[in-house]
């Protein structure tokens, strides 16, 4: 009885979290981390909840298409959480090794416990029983990962990168990414202690196992911090920053600030979110590093000062992070991408004003969209005669030739860094351009 109740509680929380993610347009990690009822779960149950959510989000298009085949008509708005119950149940039946009778029984119980969904408990029972019998057959007819990418996004990727690359992006979204760490120092030593792989870019890669990050060796003494390997490259493009003044704009959650401080730079970190900067402050204390922290708008903060180097990690659509945040494609639109590109252009122009003559400026985004990367830099260089591109060289900062554009900018893709072990493959999609102030 206790195990059944625990299973019911975990699935109820999964349904609540899914609703909050999709209806509240919130990232899954934020939702999971902020809920005290999730934190109160046993580690095994918390891992199962996360597995349900990730399977539901990664395969959302396939799940909705299969559900439509078994539903005579769409559920009405007043069905309460009935749709989320069906979606999470479908994820368990189609993509997880969960006993069908448990999925059906507990899903029906969830529906009966809700004042609105209870009216659809019979429907849920019938749909899931049919899916348990014929769901995999229906799934096989769909064509795989392509179904999980909205048409508007798929067409953009095909235009920018071609059919093969677009398909690889869609496939990468189905895989749980590795855990990448940036060491403060002694990278080879910590790779050995953690049982990880030291990547040519300087990051340490571990298979994701969902154990508490805080329990890994080196965490308490601040020997490393979590940071995707691609996200760790832009700061390294500034070269030797020891004793240099560096402005880190849009700095939170702070991985690049920590990198620069560990390399000996005098860092000023700016972000408009005081809450996100609080996390940076905590990590500075944990790692024993220091930086000046300013809460403010990136267009105006520290505008009266010139720096040896400026790093701008501009806010963007974040489509390059779909391996870690599969829900993003369900929250974005082409209009948002165009709107973000205008903001990025303003921020880049403002950032350039704070670079001393002869200094460096690195502009980067975690987006796959050309409008948020190379297009912004192209237009900026046309309008700003006092700036020039400083091409990135093959091998510099561990960068591979395949990651460089013809102009010498960085362009990592989710399909980069293949590995026979899929748990150790891939990178976030990142764009970075290195510029100099003439």
Instruction: Tally DSSP H helices, then E strands, for the chain.
Output: 16, 12
CA distance to 183, 217, 230, 433, per residue, from 189 (Å): 10, 12, 21, 31
Nearest to residue 200, comparing CAs of 248, 241, 236?
Answer: 236
Nearest to residue 127, comparing CAs of 73, 178, 70, 80?
Answer: 70
Count of CB atoms situated within 10 Å of the CB of 388 = 12
Burial of 230 (0-12, 13-18, 19+ CB in 10 A): buried
Fill in the DSSP letter of residue 331.
T
Cα-trace Rg, the chain: 23
Fill in the DSSP letter of residue 41.
S
Instruction: Look at the block and give the residue holding tokens 């009266």.
Output: 304
Pairing of strands 307-313, 292-295: unpaired
**Known catalytic residue at 366:** yes
CA distance to 87, 93, 252, 356, per residue, from 437 (Å): 52, 57, 25, 7
SS3 387: strand
Looking at 17, 153, 364, 366, which residue is catalytic?
366
How many whole angstroms separate alpha carbon 136 and alpha carbon 138? 5
108 neighbors 132 (Cβ within 8 angstroms): no
Fill in the DSSP letter of residue 404.
B
SS3 206: strand
Active site residues: 366
């Amino acid at each position: 009885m206790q195990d059944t109740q625990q299973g019911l509680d975990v699935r109820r929380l999964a349904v609540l979290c899914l609703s909050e993610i999709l209806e509240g347009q919130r990232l899954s990690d934020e939702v999971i981390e902020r809920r005290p009822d999730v934190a109160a779960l046993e580690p095994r149950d918390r891992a199962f909840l996360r597995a349900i959510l990730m399977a539901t989000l990664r395969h959302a298009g396939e799940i909705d298409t299969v559900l439509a085949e078994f539903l005579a008509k769409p559920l009405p708005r007043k069905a309460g959480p009935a749709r989320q119950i069906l979606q999470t149940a479908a994820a368990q039946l189609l993509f997880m090794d969960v006993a069908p009778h448990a999925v059906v029984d507990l899903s029906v119980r969830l529906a009966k416990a809700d004042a609105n969904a209870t009216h659809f408990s019979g429907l849920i029972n019938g749909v899931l029983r049919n899916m348990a019998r014929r769901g995999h057959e229906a799934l096989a007819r769909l064509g795989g990962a392509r179904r999980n990418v909205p048409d508007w996004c798929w067409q953009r990727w095909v235009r920018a990168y071609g059919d093969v690359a677009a398909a690889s992006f869609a496939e990468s979204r189905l895989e749980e990414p590795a855990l990448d760490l940036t060491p403060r120092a002694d990278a080879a030593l910590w790779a050995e202690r953690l049982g990880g792989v030291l990547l040519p870019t300087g990051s340490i890669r571990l298979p994701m196992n969902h154990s508490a990050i805080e329990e890994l060796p080196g965490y308490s003494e601040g020997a490393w911090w979590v940071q995707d390997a691609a996200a760790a490259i832009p700061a390294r493009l500034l070269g030797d920053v020891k004793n240099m003044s560096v402005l880190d704009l849009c700095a939170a959650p702070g991985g690049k600030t920590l990198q620069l401080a560990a390399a000996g730079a005098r860092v000023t970190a700016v972000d408009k979110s005081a809450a996100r900067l609080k996390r940076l402050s905590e990590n500075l204390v944990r790692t024993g590093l220091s930086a000046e922290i300013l809460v403010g708008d990136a267009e105006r903060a520290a505008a009266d000062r010139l720096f040896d180097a400026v790093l701008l990690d501009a806010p963007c659509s974040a489509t390059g992070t779909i391996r870690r945040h599969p829900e993003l494609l369900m929250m974005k639109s082409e209009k948002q991408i165009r709107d973000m590109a205008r903001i990025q252009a303003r921020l880049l122009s403002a950032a350039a004003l704070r670079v001393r003559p002869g200094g460096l400026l690195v502009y980067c985004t975690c987006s796959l969209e050309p409008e948020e990367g190379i297009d912004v830099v192209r237009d900026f260089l046309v309008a700003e005669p006092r700036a020039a591109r400083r091409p990135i060289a093959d091998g510099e900062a561990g960068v591979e030739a395949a990651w460089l554009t013809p102009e010498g900018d960085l362009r990592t893709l989710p399909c980069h860094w293949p590995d026979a072990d899929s748990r150790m493959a891939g990178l976030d999609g990142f764009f970075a351009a290195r510029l100099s102030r003439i």
